[in-house]
Amino acid sequence: MSDYKAAMITGLVNDWKLQTVEVKEKLRLKYVPFNPTPELIAEAEAFLALSDADRSHKLETAFNEEAEFLISLETARALYEDPLDKRKGV
């Protein structure tokens, strides 16, 4: 593999990692359980902005892949720890 291709691949990987970190912080997720495309980020943000009751209702009415996606979001959000709460003694 040429140095150019290796540098390009490294750049793409670094961009993906940076975008993933930004998505984690923006959506307050422990991890990003999806490939962060603009459409999926918007869908995740809209879902997580709903009230608890509305999120529960959406989960009850979701089918297969959508339900898996929403459950993975709920799990990643539940595991999230606010950086301010990580301070010693909190």
Identify the band that residue 81 occupies on the pLDDT scale cut at 50, 70 and 90.
confident
Exposed e or buried b per residue across 78-88, where buried means at least 16 C-beta atoms within 10 angstroms of its C-beta? eebeeeeeeee
Alpha-carbon distance of 77 to 55, in angstroms, equals: 13
| Threshold 0.75, pTM exceeds | no
**CB distance 38 to 48 below 8 Å:** no
Helices (H), 1-90: 3-27, 38-49, 52-61, 64-79
At 18-27, the pLDDT tens digits run: 677 888 888 9
How many domains is the chain partitioned into structurally?
1
At 9-64, the pLDDT tens digits run: 666 555 656 677 888 888 999 999 988 888 888 999 999 999 999 999 999 999 99
Alpha-carbon distance of 26 to 20, in angstroms, equals: 10
- The verdict on residue 87 lying in a domain is no
Residue 46: domain span = 3-81
